[in-house]
């Protein structure tokens, strides 16, 4: 009889291990002493089935799969892998939103490849900033070469005007027609193109040398750099004005600066600008109030409604914060769902009241089929801190923010995770 019990149980165990499926077995077919062992095999079968289903979901990249119960010891390592994959996904999203400071050190060769990618992105961001600075230095260098440009203007497109200091007569213009004096018809055209010509003709500054940048005020938003200095022109006391169109240069410098310091997804300042701005505040010991904001449930919205809806969620949040403060206040995105707002002065109490009002308004408005919410933490910078550090201030604000997030989680457990 014992042999029969053993055969039935061994066959049952073999089917479990081979994944062949098991035929229902009636415990009544077993002797009393073998029934407890049979129940143990049934629990093993449930654990194996759960392991098979869980691993199948992970192999398809479904990181939203539910974790198995803690009692299933077969899934412990897979659960650790699942958690690591979720963390890696979040870090990759952070890098995609401009935070190249992400670092991992517990996944062997993958860690090395990931960290190398983040390092390359950070270096590229630094190169972009360096390129901006080079262009600005180049613009300054051009101003120092204006003396040489005077001799070369006949071969270039710049305007050069020589004006009599006494009667404001134009004695020379490099745009004149060949032969004779300055063509009056051209002067009328020049006057319409250079709306500031009358300012040049009536220049009364006593400086020996002056460089100014002027916006013409036209629809094309044209900029000119004007270099002016006195000379003797054919025995007449005169002024030379060299007018250079720098519109393209201005636009290039502006575009590069915008790319280096702005978040492409929202248009607000980015992490690089925020770090440099905060370093200046701490170095100069200025008073400021920092509000650290975390958009609740962005991953939930992305997973349930798609990344396009997640982007809309971010934009609605950014627009709400931006419209609630002055243009001069610094609002920056420092991560995928992390933002910082910096106001001058120690106004922590006022800031707390205002952010509480904004949060209630955001939670009460329904932009889509999900609850909107954010968490925040406010820290005052008095300018009297000893050896202040940005990391320390952010850590303090982060701890305060998590108290707010805990309260939000009690209200919206599905959104805040």
214 and 223 in contact (C-beta within 8 Å)? yes
| Structure confidence at residue 182 (pLDDT) | 52
DSSP label at 28?
A: G
Measured distance CA(143)–CA(145) in Å, rounded: 5
Dihedral sign for Cα atoms in the order 115, 116, 119, 125: negative
DSSP label at 177?
A: P
The answer for residues whose C-beta is within 8 angstroms of residue 272's C-beta and 6 or more apart is 125, 129, 260, 261
132 and 256 in contact (C-beta within 8 Å)? yes
E-only strand ranges, 93-246: 159-164, 170-173, 210-215, 223-233, 236-245
DSSP string, 268-330: SB-HHHHHHHHHHHHHTT--EEEEEEEETTHHHHHHHH-HHHHHHHHHHHHHHHHHTS-TTSE
| Structure confidence at residue 257 (pLDDT) | 60
DSSP-derived 3-state class of residue 170: strand
Measured distance CA(258)–CA(191) in Å, rounded: 33
| Structure confidence at residue 173 (pLDDT) | 77
| Structure confidence at residue 170 (pLDDT) | 78
DSSP-derived 3-state class of residue 227: strand
pTM: 0.44
Measured distance CA(270)–CA(262) in Å, rounded: 5
Provide block-wise average pLDDT over 10 residues at a time, the chain (417 residues). Answer: 67 67 63 69 72 73 72 69 70 68 68 71 76 72 48 61 80 65 56 63 62 59 76 80 72 62 92 95 94 96 93 95 92 96 95 96 85 95 91 96 93 74
| Structure confidence at residue 140 (pLDDT) | 64
């Amino acid at each position: 009889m014992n042999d029969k019990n053993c055969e039935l149980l061994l066959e049952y165990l073999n089917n479990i291990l081979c994944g062949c499926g098991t035929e229902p077995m009636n415990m009544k077919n077993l002797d009393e002493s073998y029934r407890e062992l049979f129940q143990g095999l049934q629990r093993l079968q449930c654990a194996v089935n759960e392991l098979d289903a869980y691993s199948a979901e992970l192999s398809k990249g479904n990181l939203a799969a539910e974790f198995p119960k803690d009692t299933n010891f077969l899934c412990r390592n897979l659960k650790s892998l699942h958690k690591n994959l979720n963390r890696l996904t979040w870090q990759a999203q952070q890098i995609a939103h401009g935070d190249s400071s992400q670092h991992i050190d517990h996944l062997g060769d993958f860690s090395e490849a990931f960290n190398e990618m983040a390092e390359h992105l950070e270096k590229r961001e630094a190169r972009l900033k360096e390129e901006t600075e080079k262009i600005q230095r180049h613009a300054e260098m051009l101003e120092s070469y204006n003396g040489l440009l005077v001799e070369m203007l006949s071969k270039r497109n710049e305007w050069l005007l020589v004006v009599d200091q006494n009667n404001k007569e134009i004695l020379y213009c490099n745009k004149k027609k060949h032969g004779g004096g300055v063509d009056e018809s051209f002067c009328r055209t020049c006057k319409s193109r250079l709306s500031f010509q009358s300012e040049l003709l009536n220049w009364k500054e006593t400086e020996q040398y002056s460089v100014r940048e002027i916006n013409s005020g036209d629809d094309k938003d044209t900029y000119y750099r004007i270099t002016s200095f006195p000379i003797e022109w054919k025995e007449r006391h005169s002024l030379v004005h060299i007018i250079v169109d720098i519109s393209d240069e201005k636009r290039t410098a502006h575009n590069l600066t915008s790319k280096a310091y702005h978040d492409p997804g929202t248009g607000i300042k980015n992490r690089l600008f925020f770090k440099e701005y905060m370093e200046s505040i701490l170095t100069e010991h200025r008073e400021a109030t920092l509000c650290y904001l975390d958009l609740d449930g962005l991953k939930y919205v992305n997973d349930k409604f798609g990344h396009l809806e997640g982007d809309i969620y971010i934009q609605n949040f950014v627009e709400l914060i931006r419209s609630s403060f002055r243009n001069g206040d610094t609002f920056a995105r420092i991560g995928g769902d992390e933002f910082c707002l910096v106001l001058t002065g120690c106004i922590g109490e006022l800031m707390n009241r205002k952010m509480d009002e904004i949060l209630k308004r955001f939670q009460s408005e329904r932009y889509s089929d999900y609850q909107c919410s954010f968490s925040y933490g406010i820290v005052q910078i008095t300018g009297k801190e000893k050896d202040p550090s940005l990391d320390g201030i952010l850590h303090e604000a982060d701890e305060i923010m998590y108290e707010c997030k805990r309260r939000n989680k009690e209200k919206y457990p599905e959104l805040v995770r």
